Amino acid sequence: MFNVNLGVVNMSQRIYLIFSENKKMEKKAIKKTRNINKSSALAYTGLMVLLWVVLSGHFTPLLLSFGALSCLFVIYMAWRGDVLIGDIKPEQFFLKVPFYWIWLALEILKSNISTGKAIWTNNFEPEIFEVKASQKSENGLANYANSITLTPGTVTVLIKGNIFLVHALTAEMGKDVRSGVMDKKITKMAL
């Protein structure tokens, strides 16, 4: 019984500590710039509105106003969380990303066929190697690592800085990754 009470006291103290620390953090955050990049904000709003329209499918005035309110609230939170300062570029979703996705889908189809062939014919020689990524931003690095893992036959095992440890199922796929075509495409996209 006593132990439980002690636990509660500790818990409340801890919560108080968290809140007070948060207040300090908030004061620091206000001192930060909290800039706003206009094209980034506009593209983010467009993405939110598009997502809401697709998911809702109702077009009465009441529900549309609710949708507008919730979109505005999300944009406000993104602004408060320094998402809109321009280091993440959602406008690329309308400019360059769709073309990359089409290319990636074809690549996924090809590697699916060769991986399936390797499984059915029981003919594989796994290899593991390191690959250097040329992206500058964290977002681009994450995109490259995800694209490598998404194509069946290659998996990013470890990431350290801009060097990836990649496991490939056959020698052909390993050669594909080391040739760096995908790397150049993602760097050109400038996410």
Partner 1 sequence: MNLIIDIASYICFFIGAFALITGSLGILRLPDVYSRIHAAGIIDTAAVGFIILGMMLQSGFSLTSAKLALIVLFLFFTSPISGHAVAMMANKFGIKPEAKEIKPKNKNAGDLNG
134 binds partner 1 (CB under 8 A): no
Q: How far is the CB of 33 from partner 1 (least distance, A)?
A: 29
Q: Which two tokens stand for residue 63?
A: 């529900």
Q: Min. distance of Cβ 58 from partner 1 in angstroms? A: 10
Among 29, 36, 72, 158, binds partner 1 (CB under 8 A): 158
Q: How far is the CB of 174 from partner 1 (least distance, A)?
A: 7
Measured over the CA atoms of residue 186, residue 187, residue 188 and residue 189, the dihedral's sign is positive
3-state helix, strand, coil in the chain (%, to 5): 70, 10, 25
122 interacts with partner 1 by CB under 8 A: yes
Least distance to partner 1 from the beta carbon of 145, Å?
7
Residue 7 near partner 1 by CB under 8 A? no
Choose, by CB under 8 A, the member of 42, 47, 75, 165 that binds partner 1.
165
Supply the minimum distance, in Å, between the C-beta of residue 115 and partner 1: 6
Helix (H) or strand (E) holding 83: none
**Residue 127 found at the interface with partner 1 (CB under 8 A):** yes
Strands (DSSP E) contained in the chain are 127-132, 154-160, 163-168
Residue 128 or residue 181: which is nearer to partner 1 going by CB? 128
Nearest-angstrom CA–CA distance, 158 and 179: 19
Q: What is the DSSP string of 143-158?
A: HHHHHHHHSTTEEEEE
Pick one of 48, 78, 84, 145: the residue that binds partner 1 (CB under 8 A). 145
Residue 147 identity: S
Q: What region, left, alpha or beta, does residue 46 occupy, with left being phi > 0 and alpha being psi -120 to 50 degrees?
A: alpha
- Give the integer Cα–Cα distance in Å for 129 and 168: 8
Binding site for partner 1 (CB under 8 A): 51, 54-55, 57, 108-109, 112, 115-116, 119-120, 122, 124-130, 132, 145-147, 149-158, 160, 163, 165, 167, 169, 174
